[in-house]
Amino acid sequence: MPVIFMLAPMAEISHRALRELIAGFGRDAAGGPDEYFTEMISAGALLGGGPFEKWYLDGGPYPERLVYQIAGSDPDQIERAAALLDRRESEGGPCLGIDINMGCAAPAIRRTGAGVAWMASADAAGTLTGRLRRVVRRRLSVKLRIGFREDFEELLRFCRRLEAEGVELITLHPRTAGEKFRRSARWDYVERLRGELKIPVAGNGDISSPEEMLRRAGGPLMVGRAAVRRPWIFAAARALIGGAAGTGGEKAALEGPLNKDTVNLEETGIRFLELLARYQPPEFHLSRARRFFGYFCDNLKWGTYVKNLLNREESLAGIERAWRGYFAGTSGEDREAARV
Ligand SMILES: Cc1cc2nc3c(=O)[nH]c(=O)nc-3n(C[C@H](O)[C@H](O)[C@H](O)COP(=O)(O)O)c2cc1C
C-alpha cells in the first residue's frame, strides 16, 4: 500500500513559500508530500473579505495536493467558507479537500468555541460535518486531538459519528486538549483508531526523521515541525522507500542522502527568504521569517545564538545579511555543512 505523506497545517508556517521550498528538494513535485494542508483559515475572516485573504488562499504550487483547513465556531460561517473554498480554482486547479480544525488547543482559538472546543460535543460536531458533507464536493476531513481527557472509547464514539456523517479522513494528533508538546504523542491511540474505523486515520505528532516516517507508515502520516526544521524530510523518506510513496509513485531525484550535513543550509535559508518575499505580503515577512528560522536554526550548532541574531533584525534584507554573516564568520561544522 502506498504511504501518504502530509504537511501539517501550521499557523504562520504552512504557506506557499514553505510548500515551494519543500517541493524543491525533488524533481517536479517529488520533493514534497502528497498533501499540503494550509495553515488554518478563519471562516469569519474569509467571509468578511479581510485584506490578507488572497495570501491565505494561494494554493500553489500544487493546488491538486492542497487541503484548505478552516477554523471557526459558527456552523453557518464554516459551511459558507467550506463551499467557497471547495469551488475555488487556484492556479487553474481545484483543491484536494477541505479540513475542519477540531484540534487546535490554543486558548485564543478554543475560547471562541473553535478548534478543540468542537470535541466537547459529538452531536454538535456531527451535525456540522453532516451539513458540510452536503456542500463539500471534494474530500472532507477533520483534524482532532484525543479530546479533553484520556478516554479511547469517548474518542471512538466521536470519530464514529464523524464517519457516519460522511467525513472521509481523520487526522489524529494524539494529545489531550490540555497538553502541550512536553508530553510525547500517544501513537497507540492512532493505531487503535486505525483498527476501529473504516476511513483512513492519519497519524501526527513528534515525527522527527525520515526513518521514523517509515516506522510509522501503517497509514497516512502528517509531519509538522520536523518539516520546517528539515524541509527535505519528505524527499529523504521517499528515497528510503525507493520512491514508491504516494500519488503517482514519483521518485525523488536525489544524488545521495539528504540530511543536515549534505544539504546547503545557508542557501536553503536564502531560498526561503526569496520565496517569502515572492509569495507573502510585506506585512507578514518578519513574523513568517521568525517562525521558520525558529525551527530551521535547530540544524545549526549555534542555533539559539543565530535565532537571537535574526530576531533582532527588522527586515528581510537584515535577516539575509545576518544569516549570510553567520556562515561567513563561522568555522567548524556549520561552515562545512554550508559549503557542500
Ligand atoms: C506553530 C504551529 C502552528 C500550528 N497551527 C496549526 C493550525 O493552524 N491548525 C492545526 O490543525 N494544527 C496546528 N498546529 C498543530 C500541528 O498541525 C501538529 O498537529 C502538531 O505540531 C504536531 O505535529 P508535529 O509534532 O509533527 O509538529 C500547529 C503547530 C505549530 C507548532
Instruction: Give the pLDDT confidence of 100-111 residue by residue, as tens digits.
Output: 999 999 999 999
pTM above 0.85, yes or no: yes
- Regarding the beta carbon of 9 and ligand 1, being less than 6 Å apart is answered yes
- Taking alpha carbons only, the member of 132, 57, 123, 129 closest to residue 95 is 57
pLDDT of residue 2: 75
Residue whose CB lies within 8 A of the most ligand 1 atoms, among 6, 10, 222, for a mutation test:
10
pLDDT of residue 252: 44
Residue % of the chain over a pLDDT of 70: 91
Please count the residues of the chain.
Answer: 340
- Regarding the beta carbon of 204 and ligand 1, being less than 6 Å apart is answered yes
Phi/psi of residue 101, each to 5°? Answer: -80, 105
- Regarding the beta carbon of 172 and ligand 1, being less than 6 Å apart is answered no
- Regarding the beta carbon of 70 and ligand 1, being less than 6 Å apart is answered no
- Regarding the beta carbon of 95 and ligand 1, being less than 6 Å apart is answered no
Domain boundaries, the chain: 5-249, 265-339
How far apart (Å, rounded) are the C-alpha atoms in residues 166 and 146?
A: 20
Which cell numbers in the block locate residue 338?
554550508
Q: Report the separation in Å between the CA atom of 297 and the middle of ligand 1, taken as the mean of its atom positions.
A: 18
Hey, what amino acid is at 143?
Answer: K
Question: Which atom of ligand 1 is closest in space to residue 227's alpha carbon?
Answer: 26
Question: Which atom of ligand 1 is closest in space to residue 99's alpha carbon?
Answer: 11
How would you classify the pairing of strands 89-90 and 93-94?
A: antiparallel
Beta carbons of 237 and 256 less than 8 angstroms apart? no
Taking only the tens place, the pLDDT of each residue in 93-152 is 899 999 999 999 999 999 999 999 999 999 999 999 999 999 999 999 999 999 999 999
Give the C-alpha distances (Å, rounded to integers) separating 73 from 48, 79, 99, 117, 240: 15, 11, 14, 8, 41
Which cell numbers in the block locate residue 79?
459551511
Could you please state the CATH topology (level 3) that the domain comprising 5-249 is classified under: TIM Barrel (3.20.20)
